[in-house]
Amino acid sequence: MPQLPQTTPERAGSADASPGDLAARYAEVRSMSMRLTEPLSDEDCQVQSMPDASPAKWHLAHLTWFFETFVLEPHEPGFRAFDPSFRVLFNSYYQGVGEQHPRAQRGLISRPSLTTVKRYRAQVDARMQALMARAAADGTLDTELRGLITLGLHHEQQHQELLLTDIKHVLSFGAPSATEPMAYAKRWPIGAIEAQPLRWFAYEGGLFDLGHDPVQDGDFCFDNETPRHRAYTAPFELASRPINHGEFLAFIEDGGYRRPELWLSAGWNWVNEGPHGQPRQAPLYWQQRDGSWFTHTLQGTVAIDPHTPMCHLSYFEADACARWAGARLPTEGEWEFAARRLSPRALRQAHFVARGAFHPLPPISAASDEPLQMYGDVWEWTQSNYNPYPGYRPLPGAVGEYNGKFMCNQFVLRGGSCATPAGHVRASYRNFFPPEAQWQFSGLRLAREVGG
């Protein structure tokens, strides 16, 4: 299992960092990607298990392509590409840069080898460190260049989470025996797990500022977190913790997947058009053996623990479960309104990837006067469409394609997960996926009107 550094939220990276801090941060983030691949074989790194997922080898190369294309090419004297063919092979979706290899065929890129990709990373890393040192010495490490490098580091952290969720999907197919998928790390059980009651916290609502706040959130943000603007939310209540596996099992046993009144129309179609033409009856990775439910995790196949936060739910499943519970999903405004009122210990107690569990855990303590686990463990679906904030403008140039072009047919998730690097999320962070997506560590927290 890789040794994961205990990164604190304060080390999230900033465009205002000193040259030495920025160079150290670059080395730290880049080395983390390599540590995450240590448990994997070369063959593991080659596999693409579905079009939405990418091979680990592709992730490692694409992240290097980002720095070579957007930082070195315009700023390195005498720039020369490591391999000109990589410009197409490892371009994800940046139309302004040129053509892309088809996404669904990334697993067919057998060449370059993983060894060559690692050499590519090492060469680009050496050139990036030289560029930062030279720019610091001659005064050209300006705000724009710092900001671009910092964007690349946060982009890499996003892909570190995707690398884990993608390899989890890959390993769910491979099996040393007929019934036992392979494990990424074998450390189960994680620890003692106890039941935590679900309570409700009331919020007065009203006008508030929504979006990135440099004072509370740190200097860095993605463009989709801006501009900060006035928003309104009516009074609401928020559950004290995410829905757990036991509660979702009760939803299943109450006919949750067979009751059309609980589902959006598109969601009911999704249920009935399940994999291999069979209606869905349970979440991704669940399987029933001798009347008991098990789930595939990065720790291997384990019996579901009823007290751990539910994960790998589509928006459709999260919405249906909330309706079944007599509640609803929160809006992203409600989620941020509540998150900005959390105490500092909320981030300190969060279960991020450095915890090494690679699976959501129960709350550290049930005795709390505020909601628990709003950060880490599972991304929380909101009912909010992923739309631009009032006055939003994408960044100029090709990097402007990073977020804005996806503001259609997606829903917002908040809070981070057990696969998210510490320091990568904040109250204003907006993740987004289409409503049918399940392979991320996505769960739900209930909301309702006051007195609901």
Q: What is the per-residue pLDDT across 402-437, written as a single tens digit (0 to 9) for each? A: 888 999 999 999 999 999 999 999 999 999 999 999
pLDDT at residue 10, as a whole number: 33
Determine the Cα–Cα distance for residues 325 and 102; give it in Å rounded to an integer.
41
- As assigned by CATH, the class of the 200-449 domain is alpha beta
Residue located via tokens 């500022």: 209
Question: Are 193 and 168 spatial neighbours (Cβ–Cβ below 8 Å)?
Answer: no
* Cis amide prior to 260 (ω within 30 degrees): no
Residue numbers of the chain with a pLDDT score lower than 50? 1-3, 5-13, 178
Report pLDDT for 6.
40
Q: What pLDDT is stored for residue 11 in this prediction?
A: 35
Q: Is the dihedral of CA 218, 224, 230, 236 positive or negative?
A: negative
Give the strands of the sheet with 200-203, arranged side by side: 200-203, 236-239, 447-449
CA 243 to chain centre: 18
Q: What is the pLDDT of residue 113?
A: 98
pTM as predicted: 0.94
**Predicted local confidence at residue 193, as pLDDT:** 67
Instruction: Find the radius of gyration of the CA atoms of the chain.
Output: 22
Which distant-in-sequence residues (6+ apart) come within 8 Å of 25 by Cβ?
Answer: 11, 13, 17, 153
Which residue, 247, 243, 241, 239, is CA-closest to 200? 239
Helix (H) or strand (E) holding 333: helix 332-339
Could you state, in order of their start, the residue ranges of all structural domains in the chain?
9-171, 200-449
pLDDT for res 342: 95
Domains 9-171 and 200-449 share a fold: no
Backbone angles phi, psi at 36, to 5 degrees: -65, -20
What pLDDT is stored for residue 271 in this prediction? 98
CA distances from 41 to 45, 56, 114, 163, 374 (A): 6, 10, 10, 14, 34
Q: What architecture (CATH level 2) is domain 9-171?
A: Up-down Bundle (1.20)
pLDDT at site 176: 55
Tokens representing 153 are 């580091």
Give Cα 29 distance to the centre of its chain: 16
